[in-house]
Structure 1
């Protein structure tokens, strides 16, 4: 056989083999089709499950209140990002949704919740620049990304419950209760209670953040309320105090006299201590001469005397002696004043009762009016400063870290087709083998 005939023989043989291959595939196209469909379905299903297992739901929570800039909570305690989703909220959500949660146990559920601060690019640049210069620049983010592999509903419940918890815990409540009737209280006790209430109101009003706040809606400011309080304290309250004090009025004369006796006894004891102290200082002065440089100075630290030189020590002794004697005189005056007040203590007449009740009514009416105005402006102030102190800045978004489903579809078709072709040839091989060796 020459070369031309040999080449023709091989070409015919190849053509026959190729046609035979096509006929074989056509004969078993059912197997190939079923295999391709089954493997493709398995591939797509597996890919879907893989993507779902690697899907992360996330959302952004934003903080907006004055103290956050300094890394503080609204109550000025230290702000920690790990407390944004509190443990009690995690426990509550886990308990209520155990059938929906993918995590194996509450500990695993907690570790699947990630909280990351969002730092603006400009701030990151500043921090890096500061580090290069050997400086430390602190920054507390105002936005935080909350992410978890749990489903969307679980993350929404975690975030909304955490926001509610934060508001209930930290939103200021400046509401002040009005003054009620002072039943079963003596006049001096009523004065003390009113004076204490006014002091608390002044502290509530007179804060740095409120000083310049003016309500356009209400038409007044915190400073105006402070002026009203001070006027009430200086005029009406003082008039009330002077009236029952000058007239010695009391609804319980015996108890009032007992209190006076107790105060007098206490002040007398203080006076006696001062007198003993004055006697010691006087004795030291009599024994001491400024020109004597060999004197031994006794321990007088309890008198607050700082000794630099002998003459300065002598001067300080004199000043201390004068100061102690001045205090003794003050105590004597106070005792005398209390004794005089005790002597005139008396039950009020019907007319005096009417007068003092009227004065008290004026004070409580004005004070409650100020409290009412204070509560209104406090509510507006809190809403203006803290209404958006925590909120959802971005709703839940789903991020898939797996592969596109189309890729799994293509892989399934390719693998399924190859498996079908393999099975077709194996079936044809088994058929030919049986036909050849079964004779």
Structure 2
């Protein structure tokens, strides 16, 4: 019974991994580990540099769109989501020659159409709203050809947004209409005043009345005239107030405000991650090569 226990213990010890032996194997094949690690590191370095070279950099600009119709009819709603859906806007942005050349170079001739142009610009441009304040808009574009061309793309996009803003035109139109109505009202008030003067001249009963009683007399004796006078004065005051309100909107005509200049943003690449993974994989493969060589050497020794 004791012999069987000893045999089992001996077998158990044989199955256990000898840490010192593993270390000896790694030290014995250290150059294989070093060479494998260096090779993998160089390969990953090359991959990292390639990925880094292909990672686009960006230009960004922030704007603020504070739009209000101010109760006016016909004011366009500025919608950043529809800019690139309009063919004329796509064509206008592609008037930037280096960007157009990049599109033509990277798009097969048989695929060059409005749909591919739109997709090209949609991939190039990223328009985003601030979650906390939807009025804050960020315009980001990849540097496709050069920085100046990308700046032109951003500026063209903002120009298109500004052209959607017709508030100044609507205000000018409203001011013209209100001014014309005000002039007509003035003429009507003058006519009423002339009629009152004629009444003063012709109606002898007015001569015996005190000044404050004369208007009450006219109001009671000529109610239609008094009603016309009240209506026209009401219109006059309304038009004057509306013109004052329209004039006060002049300071609010700049709906699109540029809150930052165009600034450079470096693209985030995975170069560092690729290099780190390469080094780790190199060490792992180096250890595997060391154990494989040890296995082959042991196999050869057994069969000599």
TM-score tier (shorter): 0.3 to 0.5
**TM-score, length-scaled by structure 1:** 0.36
Q: Which structure shows the bigger proportion of residues in helix conformation?
A: 2
Larger Rg computed on CA atoms = 1
The one of the two structures with greater contact order (alpha-carbon pairs below 8 A, sep at least 6) is 2
**TM-score, length-scaled by structure 2:** 0.48
